[in-house]
């Protein structure tokens, strides 16, 4: 059936183009379209595969036979007449239209004469749809990060540092903080978090005092629930920095979208952009990161809800990513909120 074959071709090509755009260029709204196209493609594929094939003429032969017949008139004359009888027979042979294998694989419409190529084409589209579902759902279903424990460094001045702590296991309470001068020998207790609750998704903010020094210092910190890291204090007001060769460097970025560009080999919580940033951090020796918004994309590629739990889960998934610690454990992050962390308004 020509119509079903056209539908199969069109939906197949659209699935493949849409999936590639979703994986590499435009990660918004496309999954629903891809799933709808696949729902159209399946019946069109099956109907085209099991319907009578399109026929084409493979042979056309015309046989012409001329017969001469002697006719004797009834008027008793001796004159004979010769009549010619022409017999024309046309033989037309039909066969199923032969579609090249490459067209079946490339476009997606099947042919009963080429079952292997048809199956391969279907599996290609199934793979694109499966990878789209993987990118959209696997992190949500299998990595909600409910048990995540982390400590994140926030704003740091010359005399104090702020930390965000998440600890859902109350058996680890209280969480105590210790600090010492970089490569120092003596740890000093500088604060603690007594408890956390589900009201704040088991998070708490702690401000700790830094040890008093005349010049800018670098510190090590650790907690009783097995988190540790480093921080560099800001120079005192009116004084030049003494760390990092007297340079004062800060970074700026925005827009974190896990697993984009998409690779099926990445962990479901992978953040390729942070992975690239981690490679450059040692040579940059930055004082802090000024993050300009969109720490999460609550509505990309799809919005799954507006509940508090939905927002909390997406923030946890960023902190649970194996790519977060290399850029967040030892670097102060200062945040600005932007639209995608609440709802897209652009």
pLDDT in tens, 244-302: 888 899 999 999 999 999 999 999 999 999 999 999 999 999 999 999 999 999 988 99
* 188-239 pLDDT tens trace: 999 999 999 999 999 999 999 998 777 889 999 999 999 999 999 999 888 8
Tokens of 343: 């709802």
CB 202 within 8 A of CB 168: yes
CB 132 within 8 A of CB 35: yes
pLDDT of residue 264: 95
pLDDT at residue 60 greater than cutoff 80: no
Greatest Cα pair distance in the chain: 148
pLDDT at residue 326 greater than cutoff 90: yes
CB 68 within 8 A of CB 80: no
pLDDT at residue 61 greater than cutoff 90: no
Q: Which pLDDT band, with edges at 50, 70 and 90, does 70 fall under?
A: low
Backbone angles phi, psi at 328, to 5 degrees: -115, -15
pTM as predicted: 0.83
């Amino acid at each position: 059936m020509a119509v079903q074959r056209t539908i199969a071709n069109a939906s197949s090509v659209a699935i493949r183009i849409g999936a590639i755009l979703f994986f590499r260029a435009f990660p918004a709204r496309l999954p629903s379209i891809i799933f709808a196209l696949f729902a159209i493609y399946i019946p069109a594929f099956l109907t085209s595969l099991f319907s009578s094939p399109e026929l084409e003429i493979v042979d056309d032969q015309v046989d012409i036979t001329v017969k001469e017949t002697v006719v004797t008139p009834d008027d008793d004359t001796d004159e004979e007449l010769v009549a010619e009888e022409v017999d024309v027979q046309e033989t037309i042979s039909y066969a199923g239209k032969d579609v090249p294998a490459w067209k079946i694989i490339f476009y997606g419409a099947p042919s009963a004469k080429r079952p292997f190529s048809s199956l391969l084409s279907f599996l290609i589209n199934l793979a694109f749809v499966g990878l789209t579902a993987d990118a959209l759902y696997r992190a949500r279903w299998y990595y909600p990060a409910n048990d995540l424990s982390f400590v994140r460094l926030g704003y740091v001045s010359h005399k104090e540092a702020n930390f965000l702590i998440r600890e859902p296991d109350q058996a680890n309470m209280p969480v105590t903080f210790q600090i010492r001068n970089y490569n120092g020998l003596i740890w000093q207790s500088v604060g603690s978090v007594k408890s956390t609750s589900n009201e704040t998704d088991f998070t708490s903010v702690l401000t700790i005092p830094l040890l008093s020094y005349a010049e800018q210092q670098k510190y090590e910190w650790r907690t009783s629930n097995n988190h540790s890291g480093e921080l560099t204090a800001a120079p005192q007001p009116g004084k030049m920095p003494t760390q990092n060769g007297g340079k004062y460097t800060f970074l700026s970025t925005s827009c974190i979208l896990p697993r984009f560009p998409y690779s099926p080999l990445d962990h479901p919580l992978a953040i390729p952009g942070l992975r690239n940033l981690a490679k450059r951090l040692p040579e940059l020796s930055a004082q802090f990161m000024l993050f300009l918004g969109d720490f999460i994309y609550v509505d990309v590629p799809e919005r799954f809800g507006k509940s508090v739990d939905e927002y909390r889960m997406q923030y946890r998934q960023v902190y649970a990513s194996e790519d977060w610690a290399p850029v967040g454990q030892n670097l102060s992050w200062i945040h600005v909120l932007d639209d995608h962390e609440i709802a897209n308004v652009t």
